[in-house]
Amino acid sequence: MRMIDRLREYVEDETPTGAVDALNAFADRLLSRYGELGGTARRVPAPTGDHVVADFPGRGPRAAEAPLLFLAHHDTVWPIGQLQDAMPWREQDGVIHGPGVFDMKGGLVVLETALEQVAGLDHRPVRVVVVADEEVGSPSARELVTAESAGVVAAFGLEPPHPNGDLKTSRRGSSRVRIEVTGREAHAALDPGTGVSAIDELLDQLIAVRALVSEYDDVLCNVGTITGGGRTNVVPGNASADLGFRFVDPETERAVLDAVKGLQPVRRDAVLEVSVMSNRPAWQPSEAADLLLAKVAEAGRSVGHEVGGAAASGAADTNLTGWLGVPTLDGLGPRGKGAHAVHEQVIAASLAERAALVAAIITTL
Protein backbone atom coordinates (compact mmCIF):
# COMPACT_ATOMS: atom_id res chain seq x y z
CA MET A 1 0.00 0.00 0.00
CA ARG A 2 1.29 3.47 -0.86
CA MET A 3 2.30 5.67 2.07
CA ILE A 4 -0.31 8.25 1.12
CA ASP A 5 -3.08 5.65 1.01
CA ARG A 6 -2.14 4.34 4.44
CA LEU A 7 -1.93 7.86 5.80
CA ARG A 8 -5.41 8.58 4.50
CA GLU A 9 -6.73 5.46 6.24
CA TYR A 10 -5.14 6.60 9.49
CA VAL A 11 -6.38 10.18 9.22
CA GLU A 12 -9.92 9.10 8.39
CA ASP A 13 -9.87 6.92 11.51
CA GLU A 14 -10.38 9.86 13.87
CA THR A 15 -8.83 9.44 17.34
CA PRO A 16 -9.25 12.46 19.61
CA THR A 17 -7.66 12.33 23.03
CA GLY A 18 -10.08 10.79 25.51
CA ALA A 19 -12.20 8.97 22.90
CA VAL A 20 -11.37 5.59 24.43
CA ASP A 21 -13.26 3.37 22.00
CA ALA A 22 -11.79 5.10 18.96
CA LEU A 23 -8.27 5.02 20.39
CA ASN A 24 -8.54 1.34 21.32
CA ALA A 25 -9.80 0.47 17.85
CA PHE A 26 -6.80 2.27 16.38
CA ALA A 27 -4.56 0.40 18.82
CA ASP A 28 -5.99 -2.83 17.36
CA ARG A 29 -4.98 -1.59 13.94
CA LEU A 30 -1.43 -0.87 15.12
CA LEU A 31 -1.10 -4.24 16.83
CA SER A 32 -2.03 -5.98 13.60
CA ARG A 33 0.24 -3.80 11.52
CA TYR A 34 3.28 -4.28 13.74
CA GLY A 35 2.68 -8.02 13.70
CA GLU A 36 2.68 -7.94 9.90
CA LEU A 37 6.03 -6.13 10.03
CA GLY A 38 7.60 -8.86 12.17
CA GLY A 39 7.24 -7.30 15.59
CA THR A 40 5.90 -8.65 18.86
CA ALA A 41 3.26 -6.15 19.91
CA ARG A 42 1.22 -5.75 23.07
CA ARG A 43 -1.31 -3.29 24.40
CA VAL A 44 -0.91 -1.55 27.73
CA PRO A 45 -4.36 -0.73 29.17
CA ALA A 46 -4.98 2.82 30.37
CA PRO A 47 -8.18 4.66 31.32
CA THR A 48 -7.59 7.26 28.60
CA GLY A 49 -7.06 4.63 25.90
CA ASP A 50 -4.64 1.76 25.47
CA HIS A 51 -0.99 2.33 24.61
CA VAL A 52 0.93 0.04 22.24
CA VAL A 53 4.43 -1.38 22.68
CA ALA A 54 6.14 -3.35 19.92
CA ASP A 55 9.56 -5.01 19.80
CA PHE A 56 11.24 -5.82 16.51
CA PRO A 57 14.20 -8.23 16.71
CA GLY A 58 17.59 -7.24 15.40
CA ARG A 59 19.21 -9.13 12.56
CA GLY A 60 22.69 -10.41 11.81
CA PRO A 61 25.73 -9.66 13.97
CA ARG A 62 23.93 -6.70 15.64
CA ALA A 63 20.92 -8.71 16.80
CA ALA A 64 22.06 -8.74 20.44
CA GLU A 65 22.88 -5.02 20.67
CA ALA A 66 20.85 -2.51 22.71
CA PRO A 67 17.67 -1.42 20.94
CA LEU A 68 16.66 1.87 19.42
CA LEU A 69 13.48 3.37 20.90
CA PHE A 70 10.92 5.17 18.74
CA LEU A 71 8.19 7.22 20.44
CA ALA A 72 4.87 8.10 18.82
CA HIS A 73 1.21 8.71 19.69
CA HIS A 74 -2.12 7.94 18.06
CA ASP A 75 -4.31 10.58 19.69
CA THR A 76 -4.99 13.95 18.06
CA VAL A 77 -6.38 17.28 19.22
CA TRP A 78 -9.33 17.08 16.81
CA PRO A 79 -12.85 15.91 17.77
CA ILE A 80 -14.63 13.20 15.86
CA GLY A 81 -16.41 14.89 12.98
CA GLN A 82 -13.62 17.40 12.29
CA LEU A 83 -12.75 15.51 9.10
CA GLN A 84 -16.25 15.93 7.72
CA ASP A 85 -17.08 19.33 9.13
CA ALA A 86 -14.00 21.48 8.68
CA MET A 87 -10.87 19.58 7.58
CA PRO A 88 -11.60 17.06 4.83
CA TRP A 89 -8.77 14.94 3.49
CA ARG A 90 -7.33 16.79 0.52
CA GLU A 91 -4.32 16.36 -1.77
CA GLN A 92 -3.36 19.41 -3.79
CA ASP A 93 -0.10 20.48 -5.42
CA GLY A 94 1.95 17.94 -3.51
CA VAL A 95 0.45 18.87 -0.13
CA ILE A 96 -1.82 16.68 2.00
CA HIS A 97 -4.38 18.25 4.35
CA GLY A 98 -6.40 16.67 7.16
CA PRO A 99 -6.77 16.39 10.93
CA GLY A 100 -3.76 14.65 12.44
CA VAL A 101 -1.91 14.31 9.14
CA PHE A 102 1.03 16.30 10.56
CA ASP A 103 0.65 15.63 14.28
CA MET A 104 1.31 12.83 14.08
CA LYS A 105 -0.16 10.10 11.94
CA GLY A 106 2.32 10.97 9.26
CA GLY A 107 5.05 9.95 11.68
CA LEU A 108 3.38 6.58 12.27
CA VAL A 109 3.37 5.89 8.53
CA VAL A 110 7.01 6.99 8.22
CA LEU A 111 8.08 4.47 10.87
CA GLU A 112 6.08 1.60 9.39
CA THR A 113 7.57 2.23 5.96
CA ALA A 114 11.08 2.38 7.38
CA LEU A 115 10.53 -0.96 9.13
CA GLU A 116 9.46 -2.44 5.79
CA GLN A 117 12.61 -1.09 4.16
CA VAL A 118 15.00 -2.62 6.70
CA ALA A 119 13.49 -6.09 6.49
CA GLY A 120 16.28 -8.50 5.56
CA LEU A 121 19.05 -6.03 6.48
CA ASP A 122 21.35 -6.24 9.48
CA HIS A 123 20.37 -3.88 12.29
CA ARG A 124 20.04 -3.63 16.05
CA PRO A 125 16.63 -4.31 17.69
CA VAL A 126 13.90 -1.67 17.52
CA ARG A 127 11.35 -0.85 20.21
CA VAL A 128 8.25 1.24 19.54
CA VAL A 129 5.97 2.93 22.06
CA VAL A 130 2.74 4.54 20.81
CA VAL A 131 0.92 6.58 23.46
CA ALA A 132 -2.83 7.28 23.61
CA ASP A 133 -2.86 10.55 25.57
CA GLU A 134 0.21 12.47 24.41
CA GLU A 135 -1.77 15.58 23.50
CA VAL A 136 -2.66 16.14 27.17
CA GLY A 137 0.82 15.45 28.49
CA SER A 138 0.83 11.61 28.54
CA PRO A 139 -0.32 11.46 32.18
CA SER A 140 -1.00 7.71 31.98
CA ALA A 141 2.14 6.87 29.98
CA ARG A 142 4.97 8.43 31.93
CA GLU A 143 5.83 5.23 33.79
CA LEU A 144 5.54 3.22 30.58
CA VAL A 145 7.92 5.47 28.64
CA THR A 146 10.34 5.47 31.56
CA ALA A 147 10.31 1.67 31.78
CA GLU A 148 10.65 1.08 28.03
CA SER A 149 13.55 3.53 27.73
CA ALA A 150 15.68 1.48 30.10
CA GLY A 151 18.65 -0.03 28.32
CA VAL A 152 18.10 1.58 24.91
CA VAL A 153 21.00 3.12 23.05
CA ALA A 154 19.00 6.13 21.85
CA ALA A 155 15.44 7.46 21.62
CA PHE A 156 13.78 9.09 18.62
CA GLY A 157 10.47 10.92 18.41
CA LEU A 158 8.26 10.82 15.34
CA GLU A 159 6.74 14.23 16.04
CA PRO A 160 6.85 16.88 13.29
CA PRO A 161 10.24 18.49 12.61
CA HIS A 162 11.07 22.17 12.54
CA PRO A 163 9.61 23.97 9.48
CA ASN A 164 12.85 23.55 7.53
CA GLY A 165 13.02 19.84 8.38
CA ASP A 166 15.59 20.13 11.17
CA LEU A 167 15.32 17.69 14.05
CA LYS A 168 14.64 18.75 17.62
CA THR A 169 17.60 18.51 19.99
CA SER A 170 15.95 19.76 23.20
CA ARG A 171 12.52 20.86 24.41
CA ARG A 172 11.01 23.16 26.98
CA GLY A 173 9.47 21.55 30.02
CA SER A 174 5.68 21.55 30.03
CA SER A 175 3.21 21.40 32.92
CA ARG A 176 -0.58 21.59 32.99
CA VAL A 177 -1.97 23.14 36.16
CA ARG A 178 -5.58 23.46 37.29
CA ILE A 179 -6.69 26.18 39.70
CA GLU A 180 -10.08 25.44 41.29
CA VAL A 181 -11.95 27.92 43.49
CA THR A 182 -14.91 27.22 45.75
CA GLY A 183 -16.85 30.26 46.92
CA ARG A 184 -20.35 30.64 48.26
CA GLU A 185 -23.50 31.25 46.24
CA ALA A 186 -25.95 34.00 47.09
CA HIS A 187 -28.50 36.21 45.37
CA ALA A 188 -26.50 38.81 43.44
CA ALA A 189 -28.97 41.62 44.21
CA LEU A 190 -30.84 40.73 47.39
CA ASP A 191 -27.99 39.32 49.44
CA PRO A 192 -24.63 39.81 47.67
CA GLY A 193 -22.73 40.40 50.88
CA THR A 194 -23.15 36.82 52.05
CA GLY A 195 -21.76 35.44 48.81
CA VAL A 196 -18.14 34.73 47.91
CA SER A 197 -17.52 35.03 44.18
CA ALA A 198 -15.43 32.14 42.94
CA ILE A 199 -15.00 33.88 39.59
CA ASP A 200 -13.67 37.09 41.12
CA GLU A 201 -11.30 35.05 43.26
CA LEU A 202 -10.11 33.10 40.22
CA LEU A 203 -9.46 36.29 38.26
CA ASP A 204 -7.34 37.69 41.09
CA GLN A 205 -5.41 34.42 41.25
CA LEU A 206 -4.74 34.52 37.50
CA ILE A 207 -3.47 38.08 37.83
CA ALA A 208 -1.17 36.86 40.59
CA VAL A 209 0.12 34.09 38.31
CA ARG A 210 0.81 36.62 35.56
CA ALA A 211 2.78 38.77 37.98
CA LEU A 212 4.75 35.70 39.08
CA VAL A 213 5.57 34.64 35.53
CA SER A 214 6.67 38.18 34.60
CA GLU A 215 9.60 37.79 37.00
CA TYR A 216 11.16 35.20 34.65
CA ASP A 217 12.45 35.87 31.14
CA ASP A 218 11.89 32.43 29.67
CA VAL A 219 8.63 31.15 31.19
CA LEU A 220 5.56 30.84 28.98
CA CYS A 221 2.07 30.68 30.49
CA ASN A 222 -1.20 30.17 28.66
CA VAL A 223 -4.61 30.18 30.31
CA GLY A 224 -6.25 27.55 28.15
CA THR A 225 -9.71 27.21 29.70
CA ILE A 226 -11.87 29.03 32.23
CA THR A 227 -15.16 27.72 33.62
CA GLY A 228 -17.46 28.85 36.38
CA GLY A 229 -20.76 30.29 37.49
CA GLY A 230 -24.13 29.80 35.93
CA ARG A 231 -26.46 32.82 36.18
CA THR A 232 -25.91 36.57 36.30
CA ASN A 233 -28.22 36.88 39.32
CA VAL A 234 -26.26 34.32 41.38
CA VAL A 235 -22.89 34.97 43.01
CA PRO A 236 -20.84 32.11 41.51
CA GLY A 237 -19.84 29.38 43.90
CA ASN A 238 -17.35 27.55 41.69
CA ALA A 239 -14.77 28.44 39.07
CA SER A 240 -11.65 26.87 37.60
CA ALA A 241 -8.94 27.46 35.03
CA ASP A 242 -6.44 25.20 33.29
CA LEU A 243 -3.04 26.71 32.62
CA GLY A 244 -0.15 25.53 30.48
CA PHE A 245 3.40 26.43 31.53
CA ARG A 246 6.64 26.06 29.55
CA PHE A 247 10.09 26.11 31.14
CA VAL A 248 13.63 26.04 29.78
CA ASP A 249 15.27 24.61 32.90
CA PRO A 250 14.23 22.48 35.88
CA GLU A 251 15.25 25.08 38.48
CA THR A 252 12.83 27.67 37.12
CA GLU A 253 10.19 25.00 36.71
CA ARG A 254 10.41 24.04 40.38
CA ALA A 255 10.38 27.65 41.54
CA VAL A 256 7.33 28.64 39.49
CA LEU A 257 5.30 25.51 40.22
CA ASP A 258 6.06 25.73 43.93
CA ALA A 259 4.91 29.35 43.94
CA VAL A 260 1.71 28.54 42.03
CA LYS A 261 0.94 25.61 44.32
CA GLY A 262 1.47 27.95 47.27
CA LEU A 263 -1.14 30.52 46.19
CA GLN A 264 -3.47 31.62 48.99
CA PRO A 265 -7.08 32.87 48.74
CA VAL A 266 -7.59 36.61 48.55
CA ARG A 267 -11.16 36.48 49.84
CA ARG A 268 -12.22 35.33 53.22
CA ASP A 269 -14.02 31.96 53.04
CA ALA A 270 -12.82 31.27 49.48
CA VAL A 271 -11.22 27.84 49.10
CA LEU A 272 -8.39 27.40 46.62
CA GLU A 273 -7.05 24.10 45.23
CA VAL A 274 -4.11 23.92 42.83
CA SER A 275 -3.19 20.63 41.15
CA VAL A 276 -0.58 19.63 38.58
CA MET A 277 -2.40 17.49 36.01
CA SER A 278 0.64 16.51 33.96
CA ASN A 279 4.30 17.35 33.85
CA ARG A 280 7.05 16.90 31.31
CA PRO A 281 10.47 17.94 32.58
CA ALA A 282 12.68 20.22 30.55
CA TRP A 283 14.92 18.34 28.12
CA GLN A 284 17.99 20.52 27.97
CA PRO A 285 20.70 20.67 25.31
CA SER A 286 23.38 18.05 25.86
CA GLU A 287 26.56 16.66 24.38
CA ALA A 288 24.77 13.31 24.02
CA ALA A 289 22.15 14.84 21.74
CA ASP A 290 24.83 16.62 19.72
CA LEU A 291 26.77 13.38 19.22
CA LEU A 292 23.58 11.56 18.23
CA LEU A 293 22.70 14.32 15.77
CA ALA A 294 26.12 13.94 14.13
CA LYS A 295 25.50 10.21 13.64
CA VAL A 296 22.01 10.84 12.26
CA ALA A 297 23.38 13.50 9.91
CA GLU A 298 25.83 10.91 8.58
CA ALA A 299 22.98 8.45 8.11
CA GLY A 300 21.04 11.16 6.31
CA ARG A 301 23.85 11.85 3.90
CA SER A 302 23.88 8.16 3.00
CA VAL A 303 20.36 8.61 1.55
CA GLY A 304 20.94 12.07 0.10
CA HIS A 305 19.51 14.22 2.90
CA GLU A 306 21.12 17.00 4.90
CA VAL A 307 20.02 16.83 8.54
CA GLY A 308 20.29 19.67 11.03
CA GLY A 309 18.99 20.21 14.54
CA ALA A 310 17.75 22.94 16.86
CA ALA A 311 15.95 23.41 20.18
CA ALA A 312 12.13 23.33 20.24
CA SER A 313 9.55 25.15 22.36
CA GLY A 314 6.88 22.44 22.25
CA ALA A 315 6.88 19.42 24.55
CA ALA A 316 6.47 15.71 23.80
CA ASP A 317 7.33 12.30 25.22
CA THR A 318 10.95 12.86 24.21
CA ASN A 319 11.12 15.39 27.06
CA LEU A 320 11.14 12.42 29.39
CA THR A 321 13.82 10.36 27.65
CA GLY A 322 16.03 13.41 27.21
CA TRP A 323 15.58 14.33 30.87
CA LEU A 324 16.40 10.76 31.88
CA GLY A 325 19.73 11.07 30.09
CA VAL A 326 18.94 8.84 27.11
CA PRO A 327 20.51 10.31 23.93
CA THR A 328 17.41 11.69 22.21
CA LEU A 329 16.28 13.42 19.04
CA ASP A 330 12.78 14.28 17.86
CA GLY A 331 11.12 15.51 14.69
CA LEU A 332 11.44 12.50 12.40
CA GLY A 333 7.89 12.94 11.10
CA PRO A 334 7.24 14.42 7.64
CA ARG A 335 7.71 18.10 6.89
CA GLY A 336 4.66 20.33 6.91
CA LYS A 337 2.94 22.89 9.08
CA GLY A 338 -0.22 23.70 11.00
CA ALA A 339 -0.01 21.44 14.06
CA HIS A 340 -3.23 21.95 16.08
CA ALA A 341 -4.53 24.33 13.38
CA VAL A 342 -7.21 23.92 10.71
CA HIS A 343 -4.60 24.30 7.96
CA GLU A 344 -2.68 21.23 9.22
CA GLN A 345 -0.75 19.70 6.32
CA VAL A 346 2.27 17.67 5.23
CA ILE A 347 4.42 17.78 2.12
CA ALA A 348 3.68 14.50 0.38
CA ALA A 349 7.23 13.95 -0.92
CA SER A 350 8.65 14.23 2.59
CA LEU A 351 6.91 11.02 3.67
CA ALA A 352 9.27 8.91 1.59
CA GLU A 353 12.24 11.13 2.47
CA ARG A 354 11.68 10.68 6.18
CA ALA A 355 11.11 6.93 5.83
CA ALA A 356 14.46 6.61 4.06
CA LEU A 357 16.13 8.61 6.85
CA VAL A 358 14.57 6.49 9.61
CA ALA A 359 15.58 3.30 7.78
CA ALA A 360 19.14 4.61 7.51
CA ILE A 361 19.17 5.37 11.23
CA ILE A 362 18.01 1.85 12.06
CA THR A 363 20.64 0.19 9.89
CA THR A 364 23.63 2.44 10.70
CA LEU A 365 23.43 3.47 14.36
Tell me which residues are annotated as active site: 75, 134
Residues in the chain: 365
Q: Do 129 and 41 form a contact (C-beta atoms < 8 A)?
A: no
Rounded CA separation 169/7 (Å)? 26
Phi, psi of 62 (to 5 degrees): -100, 10
Torsion of CA 332, 333, 338, 339, to 10 degrees: -80
SS3 for 200? helix
The answer to whether 136 and 317 have CB atoms below 8 angstroms apart is: no
Residue type, 60: G
Query: In angstroms, rounded to a whole number, what is the distance separating the alpha carbons of residues 329 and 69?
Result: 11
63: number of Cβ within 10 Å = 12
Element (DSSP H or E) covering residue 319: helix 318-323
How far is the C-alpha of 157 from the C-alpha of 171, rounded, in Å?
Answer: 12
Q: Where are the alpha helices (DSSP H) in 66-168?
A: 82-85, 106-118, 142-148
Decide: residue 202, CB within 10 A, 0-12 exposed, 13-18 middle, 19+ buried.
Answer: buried
